[in-house]
Structure 1
Amino acid sequence: MSLRIIRLLVLWSGSLIVPFTSSHAQEPEKRPGQATADRYHNPILPGDFQNTDVIRVGTTYYYISATKELSPGMLIMTSNDLVNWKPIGHAVNDLTQIHPRYNYDRMEGNSRGVWAGSIRHHNNRFYVYFTDPDYGLFVTTATRPEGPWSALTPVKKEAGWDDPCPFWDDNGEAYLVMTHFADTYKIRLFRMSRDGKALLDTGTVLYQGKGSEASKLYKINGYYYHFYSEVTPEGRIPFMARARTIQGPYTERRQLIHKAEGEPNQGGLVQTTGGSWYFVTHHGNAYWCGREASLLPVVWQDGWPLWGKPGTDGIGNMVWSAEKPRQTGPIDTLLTSDDFTSATLSPQWEWYFQPRTDKWSLTENPGFLRLYACKPLQPDQITKTTNVLTQRPLRTDKNVATVKMAIAQMVTGQAAGLALFGKTTGRIHVRRSDTGFRFICDQPATSTASETIDARTRYVWFRASWNKAGEAQFSYSTDGQHFENLGPVYQLTNFGNYLGAKLGLYTVNDTADRGFVDIDWFHYHAKRP
Structure 2
Amino acid sequence: MKQVFVHLILLAGLCISFGCRGQHKFRIPVWGDWQVWGDEGNGMYANPVLPGDFSDIDCIRVGDDYYGVSSTFQFSPGFVILHSKDLVNWQILGHVVDDLNNVSADLNWDRMNKYGRGIWAGAIRYHDHKFWVYFCDPDKGYFMSTATNPEGPWEPPHQVLAAKGWDDGCPFWDDNGDGYFIGTHFSDGYKIHLFRMTKDGRSLITSSDKVIYQARGSEANKLYKINGIYYHFFSEVRAGGRAVMMERSKNIWGPYEGPKQLSYAQKQFHEPNQGAIIQAVNGNWYFLTHHGTGGDWAGRVLSLLPVNLRSGWPILGSPDEDTIGRMVWQGKMPVKNSKIVLPLTNDEFNESKLNPAWEWNYQPRSDKWSLTQRLGWLRLHSFRPLESGNFFKAGNTLTQRVYRTRKNVVTIKMDIQSLSAGQWAGMAHFGYPNYAAIGVVSDTTGKHLLFKNNEVSIKGIQLTGKDLWLKSTWSLDGRNQFYYSLDGHNFSPFGAVYQLKWGAYRGDRIAIFNYNEQADAGYVDIDYFHYEYSK
Shorter-normalised TM range: over 0.9
The within-5 A match list for 1:112-191 is 112-191=117-196
TM-score normalised according to structure 1 size: 0.94
Cα distance in 2 between the residues matched to 1:371 and 1:452: 22
Identity of aligned residues (%): 46
Q: Which amino acid aligns with 1:458?
A: K
Asked if 1:447 is matched to 2:445, the reply is no
Q: CA deviation at 1:414?
A: 1.4
Q: CA deviation at 1:45?
A: 1.5
TM-score normalised according to structure 2 size: 0.93
Cα distance in 2 between the residues matched to 1:122 and 1:453: 58
Alpha-carbon distance change, 209 to 15 in structure 1, aligned in 2, over 3 angstroms: closer
Q: Which amino acid aligns with 1:167?
A: F
Q: CA deviation at 1:28?
A: 7.2
Cα distance in 2 between the residues matched to 1:325 and 1:306: 18
Task: Find 1:83's aligned residue among 74, 80, 88.
Answer: 88
Q: Which residue of 2 is the match for residue 211 of structure 1?
A: 217
Alpha-carbon distance change, 282 to 76 in structure 1, aligned in 2, over 3 angstroms: same
**Per-residue deviation, residues 246-288 of structure 1 (Å, max 9, x unmatched):** 1111123321112221100001111112211111101111201
Asked if 1:294 is matched to 2:303, the reply is yes
Task: Find 2:252's aligned residue among 240, 246, 250.
Answer: 246
Count of paired positions: 517
Cα distance in 1 between the residues matched to 2:197 and 2:190: 21
Task: Find 1:499's aligned residue among 487, 495, 506.
Answer: 506
Q: Which amino acid aligns with 1:478?
A: L
The within-5 A match list for 1:473-492 is 473-492=481-500
Task: Find 1:284's aligned residue among 284, 289, 292.
Answer: 292
Q: Which residue of 1 is the match for residue 527 of structure 2?
A: 520
Alpha-carbon distance change, 325 to 365 in structure 1, aligned in 2, over 3 angstroms: same
Q: Which residue of 1 is the match for residue 272 of structure 2?
A: 264
Larger deviation, residues 98-107 vs 348-357: 98-107
Q: Which residue of 2 is the match for residue 461 of structure 1?
A: 469
Q: Which residue of 2 is the match for residue 325 of structure 1?
A: 334
Asked if 1:230 is matched to 2:236, the reply is yes
Contact 2:347–2:354, Cα closer than 8 Å, also in 1: no
The within-5 A match list for 1:378-389 is 378-389=387-398
Contact 1:406–1:458, Cα closer than 8 Å, also in 2: yes
Q: Which residue of 2 is the match for residue 255 of structure 1?
A: 261
**Per-residue deviation, residues 79-132 of structure 1 (Å, max 9, x unmatched):** 101111111110111111122111111111111110000001100111110111
SS of the residue corresponding to residue 182 of structure 1 reads: helix
Contact 2:424–2:514, Cα closer than 8 Å, also in 1: yes
Cα distance in 2 between the residues matched to 1:468 and 1:143: 39
Asked if 1:370 is matched to 2:379, the reply is yes
Q: Which amino acid aligns with 2:463?
A: I
Asked if 1:11 is matched to 2:3, the reply is yes
Cα distance in 1 between the residues matched to 2:489 and 2:6: 53
Contact 1:89–1:347, Cα closer than 8 Å, also in 2: yes
Q: Which amino acid aligns with 1:81?
A: D
Alpha-carbon distance change, 281 to 157 in structure 1, aligned in 2, over 3 angstroms: same
Q: Which residue of 2 is the match for residue 418 of structure 1?
A: 427
Larger deviation, residues 33-42 vs 267-276: 33-42
**Per-residue deviation, residues 319-359 of structure 1 (Å, max 9, x unmatched):** 01111111345643321111111101211000000100000
Cα distance in 2 between the residues matched to 1:155 and 1:61: 26
Task: Find 1:48's aligned residue among 53, 56, 59.
Answer: 53
Q: Which residue of 2 is the match for residue 5 of structure 1?
A: none
Q: Which residue of 2 is the match for residue 4 of structure 1?
A: none
Task: Find 2:438's aligned residue among 421, 428, 448.
Answer: 428
SS of the residue corresponding to residue 339 of structure 1 reads: coil
Q: CA deviation at 1:221?
A: 1.4
Q: Which residue of 1 is the match for residue 363 of structure 2?
A: 354
Cα distance in 1 between the residues matched to 2:5 and 2:50: 27
Q: CA deviation at 1:16?
A: 8.0
Q: Which residue of 1 is the match for residue 103 of structure 2?
A: 98
Contact 2:170–2:222, Cα closer than 8 Å, also in 1: yes
**Per-residue deviation, residues 409-456 of structure 1 (Å, max 9, x unmatched):** 2222212100001121100011124554211110134222222121xx
Contact 1:25–1:312, Cα closer than 8 Å, also in 2: no
Q: Which residue of 2 is the match for residue 396 of structure 1?
A: 405
SS of the residue corresponding to residue 204 of structure 2 reads: coil
Cα distance in 2 between the residues matched to 1:430 and 1:49: 32
Task: Find 2:350's aligned residue among 341, 349, 355.
Answer: 341
Q: Which amino acid aligns with 2:93?
A: I
RMSD of aligned alpha carbons: 1.9
Asked if 1:20 is matched to 2:12, the reply is yes
SS of the residue corresponding to residue 101 of structure 1 reads: helix
